[in-house]
Structures are given as C-alpha cells and as structure tokens.
Structure 1
Amino acid sequence: MALYELYAHPVERGYRAGLCSKAALFLLLAAALTYIPPLLVAFRSHGFWLKRSTYEEQPTVRFQHQVLLVALLGSEPGGFLAWSTFPAFNRLQEGHLRVPLVSAREEDRNQDGKMDMLHFKLELPLQSTEQVLGVQLILTFSYQLHRMSTFVMQSMAFLQFSFAVPGSQLHVNGDLRLQQKQPLGYRGLDVRYNVSVINGTSPFASDYDLTRVVAAYQERNVTTILTDPSPIWLVGRAAEAPFVVNAVIRYPVEFAWIQYVSILLIFLWAFERIKRFVFQNQVVTTIPVTAVPQGELYKEHLS
C-alpha cells in the first residue's frame, strides 16, 4: 500500500555535555566572539543598529588654481569678457579674451595641517568705455574626507551676480559647504567624482558652456556649494582702474551623512551557522537528544 505524508512537525534536537567539556568551552568562546567584536566596532562607529547617521569632520580642501571668468559688460548688448586657466577655452574667446591679474592664498588658522580658508583676488583690466554689470566665476577645489570613509572629489564654487549699475569691485565672503543627495559609504575608498569639473583639454566650446558645466555638476550625488556669500557690489570705478573681485572662501567643519550596516546582526547570523555545523558534525563530543511534542511521543509508545 502506498504511503503518504499526512502530517509533519519540526523536531528539536539538543546536544548534552558537561560544563567542563570542550563543547561548553566552544559555546563560551562563540558567545564571546559573537558579542565582543560588535561592541568594539560599535564603539568606533557609534551604534549597532544605525542605518544612516551624521558625523563631524574637518575636510581636507585645497584650491586647484583653476579659474573660469565671464564678466558681463553694459557698454554693448551681449558684450562680455572672458578668461580661464584653460588654454583651449582662451583660444575660443578671440576678441573677448582679457587676461586678468590673479592672486590666491590659502590659510591654516589653527595650525592643524588643514587649510581653513582661501583668499582670492582677481583684477580685470578694462577700457575707459567698458562697464561691468555682472560676474560669473568658477573656482575648483580638491575635497577629501577621511574619518569614516575615504572620499575624494574635484569640486567647485560657482559665483554668479548681476546688478543694475556698473561696478568697480565685488567682495564675496562665504563657506564652501558639502551637499549630499545620498549618504557616503561607511567604509572604503570613493573616488567616483575625482574628475575635473571642467574638461580643460577639450577644443569644443560646448564643454565650457556654463549651463552645461553647472548642470553636469548638479547631477552628482555629492557636491560643494558656496553658501552665504554676502556679495558687496561697489560702484564708482576710475577710468583706467581694473574691475576687482575679492573672495574669501572658508572651509568649515562638515557634518557628513553616511550609510551604516547593522553590525550585530551579521555576527549573530554567522556564528549561529558555525555552531550548527560544529554540533551537527560532532566536531566536539556531545550526546544528541531529539525532543518531540508530548502527544507525538505518546502515539509512538502506543504503536
């Protein structure tokens, strides 16, 4: 007669051994290795169960000495002057090219080995009939984080201001702030954005179009932005005086956003499978005991 499985239930199997046996010593060691390492990791990473969190870090920021300037003129419709540190861009400007005098100095105020701010000055020579009504300026930086994960990128500060009256000087004072759309990795090296913001070797004008450069930059998950620039527009330029841009850009302490994993869950999962393998394969000597429900045991005795 054919037999069919009409009912099934899980069977619990235990393993018995003395308190001074190798099996007991193994369980004690497994418990220690399950809970103590996560404690040590949690002490360094601020939690067992965190999925996302923030932490404070002073970034390593250095000015890359890459500049792109467009000065909007009011003397004629659509008039502008342009210059950059990219020779290919300058060759494209033809009659609009005007070479300024540029100086830059970074300062480490607290002497911790990391720069705290940039002092940038640009003097653009003008003819007596030329008047500046607006400025578009890109400065590029190397930006690094090291404390939780090593994150390295090439970033920029984009300044754009326009005014109704011609100016003689523009003063800007702001913070280069980190912006994140997604959290950073908890560990490892992240260099996905360690590429130049502007393709300075390209011979094509489209690669220097500010609309495209800014749009491509904003597609990143991690960027920097110049916050609270507090622009001061000074008027009353002398006939032969240059137009001056003075910028102070600080590199403040950042609160980076990171992605964690659940540390303890990994250890519990791993050592549960290690213990099952050890006892099922009698790596340590024990006495297996199968426990079944009392009703099932009574039926077996009756049969």
Structure 2
Amino acid sequence: MALYDLYSHPLEIIYRAGLCSKAALFLLLASSLTYIPPLLVAFRSHGFWLKRSSYEEQPTVRYQHEVLFVALLSSNSGEYLAWSTFPNFNQFQGDNLRLPVVWSREEDRNHDGKMDMLHFRLELPMKPTEHVVGVQLILTFNYQLTKMSKFVMQSMVFLQSSSPVPGSQLSVNGDLKLQQRQPLRYRGLDDRYNVSVINGTSIFASDYRFKKIAAAYHERNVTTILADPNPVWLVGRAAEAPFIVNAIIRYPVEVISYIPGFWEMIKFAWIQYISILLVFLWIFEKIKMFVFQNQMVTTVPVASITPVEYYKEHLS
C-alpha cells in the first residue's frame, strides 16, 4: 500500500549551557551583531532622522483691500501720479494725487469655503497730455495655513511693469505663491509675520517708498510673490480714456515644508531600521543554527516536548 504524508511538525531542540560558558558568550556576541549594526547602517546612510517633511494645502487667503499705486508718466522730469488706501500717504502727494476707480472681487470657484482667486481692476483718470509708461502696485493679503502648520501672516504682491511706449492698459494673470527660506513649525500658532506689510499710520514719507517696503518684506523667511504674472502692456489710449490695471491673482494649492514632530521622526526611522534588521535576523539565525547544530560551542541538546507529552510524563 502506498504511503502519504498526512501530518508533520518541526522538532525543536533546546541547547543548554551555563551563563558563563562559551555558548552564552557567542549568543551575546551574535545578538549584538544582529541588532546594533542595522542601526549604524541606517544612521550612516543619511536620512535616518526626518528633519524636514512636506504636505499639500490650499491656503486661506483674503484680500485686505489695501492698495499702494504709482503710475510713471512719460516725462524727463520724473512726473508721476499716485494713490493709496492710506490717508497719510495721500497727503504727501499734493498735485500728484489722482483718485482712481477701484473694483475688486474674490471668487470661490469650487465652493469649498476658500477663495480661489482675486479679480482686481483700477481705472486711473488721465488728462489728454498725460501718458503712462510705468506702473508700481502693491496689494496686501491675509494668508493662513491650518492643516498641519498653524501659520498666519500679512503678505503682499508687488507688481512692477514699464514700457518705452505709453500704454492704455496693463493686464496681469498670475499665482500668489508661497516662498519659504525655512520650514514651518509642526505645531503651535506661528504669527511672527502677522503684522502689516505697510505701516499705514506712519507720518514719514520714506516709510511708503516701494524700495523700503520691498526690502523689509523680503527680510522675512516666509513671503508670497506673484508668480508668472505674464504682464500684457496695451497701447493706443484714447484722449479722455483712463489708464486701466487689470489683475487676476490665483490662490493655488501649495506644497508646505515643515519640521516634523518627534513621533513622525520615530515612525520614519523605525521603518528604515526594521527593513535592515530583517536581513541581519535571517543571516544570524542561520549562523546560530550552524554553530549549535555542529557543536562548535559546548552545549547539551535537549529535544523539547509538547504540552500533552509534558502532562503525560508528570501525571504518570
């Protein structure tokens, strides 16, 4: 009659020796070489500790309705027209002050409660003899991140464009992009830059200069810029027509860089350590099996018994 394998189980052999024996010393050395080298390999291969991480978030952006505007005229005398939403700045302008018509609208296209873009339009009344060859414009925003890093700041967009040919209209269409020189904190409220970009209460004309405002703003480690504005300068203005600035500023999803917390670093490091440790466990398990089976260190082999055999032996 043919025979078939119906059931099998491995036989476990226990190797016994004293704590001060060569076998115990070998096992201690093998365990050390199993668990410590993977840690050293993972650490020396760089990237063991996660020092910086990133995630995606659409910021909560709101236009602050603060405007600083200067139009340069085609004249060798440096004539210009200016206007802002800051009364102190307007008082400094004298005859250069010109009140424009300003219209703005924010739009939430996907109806998720966050604004997606700003439509801005400025119409500057012009005399027939006045011709605009350059524009400088600052718009301010409230910028917030809430998903991982709790971050709040007052930011701005600085737009500057010029042409040797007098224009009738300037159109721009770009993204309000976040720029980081350093990662954000992963917890707590970061409001170090939640201060006005323009000091609207200042009584000094120098505080409203574009160069000074831009220089102070770019000293920050976190700023916003108008990316890819694609300015279009149109010519051919009618004698009584205003000069127009049209701007579409989008608020895109950003990749935010931040410093991860302790548990996130441990989770990342643990994965790297375990992946290397598994290889060492397999290798040294084979080494220990070879050493003990071939009695390269003196031990007393004892076959282990099942619980049923144990009880039979002690109850008989």
TM norm structure 2:
0.68
Q: Structure 1 85/173 Cα, relative in aligned 2: closer, same or farther at 3 Å?
A: same
Which aligned pairs between 1:232-247 and structure 2 lie closer than 5 A?
232-247=232-247
Q: How far 1:53 moved relative to its partner? A: 1.1
| Residues 82-126 of structure 1 deviation map (CA, whole Å, 9 limit, x = unaligned) | 000000000011111001000000000000000000000000001
Which aligned pairs between 1:108-119 and structure 2 lie closer than 5 A?
108-119=108-119
Q: How far 1:261 moved relative to its partner? A: 3.6
Does the aligned pair in 1 maintain the 2:50–2:265 contact within 8 Å? no
> What amino acid sits opposite 1:165 in the alignment?
V
Structure 2 CA distance for aligned equivalents of residues 185 and 85 of structure 1 = 34
* Equivalent position of 2:217 in the other structure: 217
Structure 2 CA distance for aligned equivalents of residues 266 and 130 of structure 1 = 66
Matched, 1:163 2:159: no
- SS of alignment partner, residue 184 of structure 1: coil
Does the aligned pair in 2 maintain the 1:63–1:118 contact within 8 Å? yes
Q: Structure 1 265/70 Cα, relative in aligned 2: closer, same or farther at 3 Å?
A: closer
**Identical residues among aligned pairs (%):** 71
Does the aligned pair in 2 maintain the 1:121–1:245 contact within 8 Å? yes
- SS of alignment partner, residue 136 of structure 2: strand
Between 94-103 and 75-84, report the one with greater CA deviation. Answer: 75-84
**Structure 1 segments of 4+ aligned residues over 3 angstroms from their partners:** 264-267
TM norm structure 1:
0.71
Q: Structure 1 264/180 Cα, relative in aligned 2: closer, same or farther at 3 Å?
A: closer
Does the aligned pair in 1 maintain the 2:73–2:81 contact within 8 Å? yes
Does the aligned pair in 1 maintain the 2:104–2:118 contact within 8 Å? yes
Structure 2 CA distance for aligned equivalents of residues 264 and 222 of structure 1 = 24
Between 175-184 and 75-84, report the one with greater CA deviation. Answer: 75-84
> What amino acid sits opposite 1:56 in the alignment?
E
Q: Structure 1 124/264 Cα, relative in aligned 2: closer, same or farther at 3 Å?
A: closer
Does the aligned pair in 1 maintain the 2:72–2:132 contact within 8 Å? yes
| Residues 41-99 of structure 1 deviation map (CA, whole Å, 9 limit, x = unaligned) | xxxxxx99421011100100000000000100004420101000000000011111001
* Equivalent position of 1:100 in the other structure: 100
Matched, 1:134 2:163: no
* Equivalent position of 1:229 in the other structure: 229
Which aligned pairs between 1:1-303 and structure 2 lie closer than 5 A?
49-263=49-263
* Equivalent position of 2:12 in the other structure: none
Structure whose CA Rg is larger: 2
Aligned length: 221
Structure 1 CA distance for aligned equivalents of residues 117 and 158 of structure 2 = 16
Gaps of 5+ in 2: 1-46, 268-316
Gaps of 5+ in 1: 1-46, 268-303
Does the aligned pair in 1 maintain the 2:123–2:244 contact within 8 Å? yes
RMSD across aligned positions (CA): 1.7
